[in-house]
A and B are shown apart, each in its own frame.
Chain A
Amino acid sequence: MPPHDLLPDGNRRGRRWAKLASLIVLITLLAVVPPAMNSYDQYLITLTLVYAITTLGLNVLIGWTGQLSLAHAGVFGLGAYLSTILIQHGWGFVPSLLVAGLGSAIVGGLVVFPALRFSGFTLAVASLAFASVIVQLFDNGGSVTGGGGGLAVPVFQFSGLSQTMSTYYVTLISTVLCFVVAHRMRHLRFGRVAFSIRDTEIAAVVSGIRVVRYKVFVFAFAAFLGAIGGALYAQLETFIFPVMFSTNTLVLMLVMLFLGGASSLYGPIFGAIFAVVMVELLQSFGSYQDLLYGLLLMLVIGVLPGGMASLPERLRTSHLLGRAVRGVASRFGRGRQDEATAASPVPPTATGSSLVDDPGDGVESGVA
């Protein structure tokens, strides 16, 4: 349990407002500081936000709901191509972005129907194949998609702003909106159902949840986020071609998701920051960078299943620091903690898929 549950009520409220305030400060900083940066740093920040939105989509699918769908790189590409093609055909940027998102959501939602008949590995293979089909479409789309040669992306620009800054602000708004929506959904019935599908699907079915309907929605929502990320990625890179959306991109997304922390709301942000910063820092190390990526992914899966988002919690519960906190907890919080656990629809000890950590982020406490 996060320690704020162990604190007196007034203190809790204070912490909440402190958090909200720091969030506001953060967003304000993100709005005001980048114009003063050079275009390279602007590009990197935008890339981080694009990755964060995209990985958030994958998180909804894998981290929250436990659906091992590997089509996300394809959906990412679908958003990039759909939005670019629409803009090229004279559509405005915002409608193109939304239609690309919704269109991909429909595709994602439709694909789920054959996928509902099986789960686990067959779903993994099937969705991987589906992603390949999408990339094949880009490749064989003739003049519409530009084939293997690719498409130049018309970039949306606020008057008076550079291209990079325009893309940055659009991406920042999208990121905030996507995370607000995801945050809301996580704390509503949707989130709880998602976690129960992940942890105990049979129990979810028995308890009368219409699992199918939720799964369709989860796939659609994940595809929407992935496609929005893709559309923004196209704006940022200004040129797209099929290879950009291959399996390598999927692996990068998985690395970001699990390094950042699957199932945590903010894990994708940590993952995205890590991916971008690490590439910059280790830029001169060439292939050693790939090796490190792979080894880190292995290490995190083996040792830190909650990813970086779980690090503070880990540290808190580790030896020295943890003993002190636990000492306080045993004095004040015992009763409250049990209450929260009892009220949670999610069994605290999830079966099987213990890789993805507890829902965290106050889902349990929020329902109480």
Chain B
Amino acid sequence: MLQYIINGLQSGSWYSLLAVSIVIVMKASDVPNFAVANMGLVGAFLAYSFVSAHLPFGVAVVLGLLGAALFGVIIDRAVIQRLGDKGHFPLLLMTIGISLSLAAALELIWGTNSLSLNAPWSNKTVHLAGQIINWDGIVTIATGLVIAIAITWFFHTTAGVRMRAVAENRSAARLVGVRISRVSGLAWGIGTAVAALAMILQTESSVLSYTAGDALLVPAFVAATAAGFTSPVGAYVAGLVIGVLENLTGGYISTALQSVVALVVVVLILLLRPSGFTRTALARREV
């Protein structure tokens, strides 16, 4: 039981971090970023290349995250902001297009073989209360928690408050002197870095390939939906819940039903609280 819960918290942390990234981007650009997992993979592949170039793992990860953040900013400047006046609908499709292009580009650059992104703690275990726990599980869960706290704190800093202001009322924010383009770039940078962290943690404990993000996308979006697309804390908790439920389902009912869990959660949200379970949830705007 404990083992299933720990495994669940680990995979839940991947969902959580991606969901947090979705929420951050949503705040600034008001678009659900369907490219979140593949944009995160850019950071993971960069980290892999830095490790291959014999850089220490920690340095490689930091460089990978910075690269991902830069990539996020570039996408925002080059693509997202140019569409700013065309409404949400093209933005959403644009993220699908980005995701599609990225998957192909990653395949072309890094190939189709599964790669290993090894951390110093990879394949190391610790015995805790009679259970065998992987170090990568512990690191993943701890990192997820730290990031969730950090992002929550960030939204209370000046930059974060600006971002929230943009999320709640774009034109009013502009009137009081918030520079929307800067806020947007900041959100895409931070959001992509958080997504990259999720993908680094995920691929470090499994394998790195250009399809690694596919299986994470639906649970991550369900978690973000549960949080009404607004609350990072809500998204974080929802991600963990989905991860744990999936693993308990896999352990006690059937592994074939694992992927249904996220779908059941969505149905429940839709029936019970269409606006998400977070108190601060805003009514979503029309597309």
Contact = CB atoms under 8 A, between A and B. Distances in A.
Contact of A302 (B89, B94, B104): B94
B266 A120 contact: no
Contact of A126 (B104, B259, B270): B270
Contacts of A121: 32, 88, 92, 229, 284, 287
Contact of A136 (B32, B82, B103, B259): B259
Interface stretch (B58-66, B172-180, B218-226): B218-226
B149 interface: no
Nearest to A250: B96
A47 to B, nearest CB: 20
A29 interface: no
B90 interface: yes
Interface in B83-141: 83, 86-90, 92-94, 96-105, 107-108
Given A302-B82, A353-B287, A124 B92 contact: yes
A278 interface: no
A321 to B, nearest CB: 25
Contacts of A324: none
A129 interface: yes
Interface residues of A, number: 44
A291 B108 contact: yes
Contacts of A317: none
Contacts of B86: 305, 354-355
Nearest to A296: B97
A124 B92 CA distance: 10
Nearest to B103: A290
The SS class assigned to the A binding surface is helix
A132 B271 contact: no
Contact of B285 (A114, A120, A295): A120
Interface in A244-267: 247, 251, 254, 258
A297 B97 contact: yes
B263 interface: yes
Contacts of A288: 104, 108
Contacts of A290: 100, 103-104, 107
A66 interface: yes
A128 interface: yes
B139 to A, nearest CB: 30
A183 B256 CA distance: 44
Contacts of A353: 87-89, 287
Contact of A251 (B94, B96, B259): B96
Interface string B195-223: 00000000000000000001000100110
A163 B117 CA distance: 50
Contacts of A118: 270, 274-275, 284
B146 interface: no
A119 B270 CA distance: 12
B222 A125 contact: yes
A359 B102 CA distance: 33
Contacts of B90: 301-302, 305, 355
The 7 closest A-B pairs by CB, nearest first: A294-B101, A294-B100, A290-B104, A291-B104, A297-B97, A120-B287, A298-B97
13 contacts: A66-B287, A114-B274, A115-B270, A121-B284, A125-B32, A139-B256, A287-B107, A294-B100, A298-B79, A301-B93, A352-B88, A355-B90, A355-B93
Given A140-B257, A301-B90, 14 more contacts: A117-B274, A121-B284, A122-B274, A122-B284, A125-B224, A125-B266, A133-B263, A288-B108, A294-B99, A294-B101, A297-B96, A298-B94, A302-B94, A354-B87
Interface of B: 32, 79, 82-83, 86-90, 92-94, 96-105, 107-108, 214, 218, 221-222, 224-225, 229, 256-257, 259-260, 262-263, 266-267, 270-271, 274-275, 284-287
